[in-house]
Structure 1
Amino acid sequence: MSRRKKKKRDEEHMDESWLVPYSDILTLLLALFVILFAMSSVDAQKFNILSKAFNEMFTGGTGVLNFESAVPPSNGKVPGKKPIITQSQQADAEAAKKIQEKEEAMKKDQEELYAIQTKVNNYIQNANLTDKLQTSLTSEGLLVTIGDNVLFDSGSAEVRSQDIQLAREIAALLVMDPPRNVIISGHTDNVPIRNSKYTSNWELSVMRAVNFMSIVLQYNSLDPKWFSAKGFGEYQPIAGNDTPEGRAKNRRVEILITPRVEQ
């Protein structure tokens, strides 16, 4: 009878020390699942938050369940912290902004030059001057080329009287708001000049550019400060000088309407 009572008493007072390691195992399992969940889309920010959480837990800080969420908000920002921008990052951002602004300005500038080209081309078509004037849009600007069969007699730098009206009509096309720099240049072939007035093709090309520009600037709406003249002689040919056709192409006057934004 005494043995049965003792056995019953032992069953009623069973040792409960196993609950401590059991609770530790549950805590570790919970921690493992939190890690696996966070690491499924791991990035440096999440990893640092998790590292801090478990460091505090195992060094006597707050427990996992009491710690602030290890997963950052959906916007990717850590609560209470502002992003740190270094001087290098700020400089890079400013440089990128300037590049973007310049590209936008260049695009707008090219669109304006294209509009001017369209206006000049319409004039050429309406005046039946396709065999005398051509335009091209280049990296240097809008180039208007006046052929050898216009403006000057052979060996002369004086604009022919019958072409003065054409020069004035071209001047009207150069009115722009706001204005742009305009460079007028003269070109010749490589045949040496033979007269007493000009000692070289270079001199002839310069005077042709200057005389043509003088007539253009008689148009009151044009400001002379935006204009300049150059002479290149025979040194910038656009065709070979070994044929009459090539030499005729090289004898020309060019009007360059420059971009406002440097390339």
Structure 2
Amino acid sequence: MAKKCPTCKKGTPLWFISWADMATLLLCLFVILFSMSTVNATKFKKLQGTMKNAFGLNHSEQVNPVGGDSLVSVDFQQEIKLVQLIEKLDLMVNNLVDNGEAELKETESGIFLKLSKKTLFKPKTLEIHPESKLKLSQIATMLQSLRNEIQVTGLPDPSPPPHLAGLLNPWAAGVVEAQAIAEFLIGEGGIDPRRVRVVSPARKPGEVPGARHDPHEFVVEIGVMRTSEARGEGDSSVPADQ
């Protein structure tokens, strides 16, 4: 009489579970390799943070296996630094943004932080608030590790300080206010003056600055441009379209 086949245990075989885990991990690996074939700095930064949290790493270590040179291009390193910069700025000015006294945005040209007159200057003067000096010093410290051009834009100010009223039009007054911020970043913040440009937006025909409905009057915009070009030692020009 033939022996009976032993009764099979119910459920998935144990070997199949390990095989399924391996297949899933391989699929994830190939998806990650495909997604990184075209490098996007923001996505890469998010992936880096996710992997760091998953493996419990508290710090990152750069490994340069070939002659001490980094395998990551300089441009890509700069892009990573810009991603880190906007994250730090977002935390720093979060309260100001909620109060409508600041505006932070990122475009293809760079990172731009608009600040209101109320936040920057004491009433009817060009003297910077002590709290704003602290924030500007912190921003300058962040910018020292970058080599990108810094563009300080003077937005039209329809109500300049009394000693400027009647002498300058709103566009020129905005440039003077931007110049005060640029001088602080260079003098107190230690930013290389060759990296800093003070500019003014072009006036559109018939445009009236006071017509905008902005109770806080954004007068200065600090832009960290994606270009890393610096002007020569002798170039101290301040481009302004008025």
TM-score normalized with structure 2 length:
0.50
Matches within 5 A, 1:156-235: 156-161=125-130, 163-177=132-146, 179-189=147-157, 191=158, 195-197=162-164, 198-219=167-188, 221-232=190-201
AA at the equivalent of 1:180: N
Of 58, 62, 82 in structure 2, the residue corresponding to residue 113 of structure 1 is 82
Q: Who wins on radius of gyration, i.e. which is larger?
A: 1
Contact kept, 8 Å, 2:114 with 2:218, in 1: the verdict is: no
In the alignment, structure 1 residue 258 sits paired with structure 2 residue 225: yes
Flag the 1:105–1:170 CA change in 2: closer, same or farther, 3 A. Answer: closer
2:46 corresponds in structure 1 to: none
Percent of matched pairs sharing the same residue: 15
Q: What 5-or-longer segments of structure 1 have no aligned partner?
A: 1-99
**Aligned with 1:120: secondary structure?**
helix
AA at the equivalent of 1:253: V
Cα deviation for residue 141 of structure 1 reads 0.7
Cα deviation for residue 209 of structure 1 reads 0.8
Contact kept, 8 Å, 2:148 with 2:195, in 1: the verdict is: yes
Cα deviation for residue 204 of structure 1 reads 1.2
Give, in whole Å, the separation in 2 of the partners of 1:124 and 1:142: 14
**Aligned with 2:220: secondary structure?**
strand
Q: Whose helix fraction is larger, Structure 1's or Structure 2's?
A: 1
**Aligned with 1:202: secondary structure?**
helix
Cα deviation for residue 250 of structure 1 reads 4.5
2:96 corresponds in structure 1 to: 129
**Aligned with 1:247: secondary structure?**
coil
Give, in whole Å, the separation in 2 of the partners of 1:211 and 1:163: 13
Give, in whole Å, the separation in 1 of the partners of 2:196 and 2:161: 30
**Aligned with 1:228: secondary structure?**
strand
Contact kept, 8 Å, 1:203 with 1:233, in 2: the verdict is: no
Residues 3-22 of structure 1 show CA distances to partners (whole Å, capped at 9, x for unaligned) of xxxxxxxxxxxxxxxxxxxx
Flag the 1:161–1:231 CA change in 2: closer, same or farther, 3 A. Answer: farther
Flag the 1:169–1:235 CA change in 2: closer, same or farther, 3 A. Answer: farther
Residues 153-210 of structure 1 show CA distances to partners (whole Å, capped at 9, x for unaligned) of 4554332455333322232232224x11000111135x47584533221221111111
Residues 58-115 of structure 1 show CA distances to partners (whole Å, capped at 9, x for unaligned) of xxxxxxxxxxxxxxxxxxxxxxxxxxxxxxxxxxxxxxxxxx99xx987765444222
Give, in whole Å, the separation in 2 of the partners of 1:161 and 1:220: 14
AA at the equivalent of 2:142: L
Matches within 5 A, 1:236-247: 241-242=210-211, 246-247=213-214
Pick 1 or 2: higher relative contact order, CA cutoff 8 A, min separation 6. Answer: 2
Residues 133-167 of structure 1 show CA distances to partners (whole Å, capped at 9, x for unaligned) of 33211121111111232112455433245533332
Matches within 5 A, 1:60-71: none
Task: Provide the alpha-carbon RMSD of the alignment.
Answer: 3.8
Matches within 5 A, 1:136-155: 136-153=105-122
Contact kept, 8 Å, 1:106 with 1:261, in 2: the verdict is: no
State the number of aligned residues.
153
Cα deviation for residue 120 of structure 1 reads 1.3
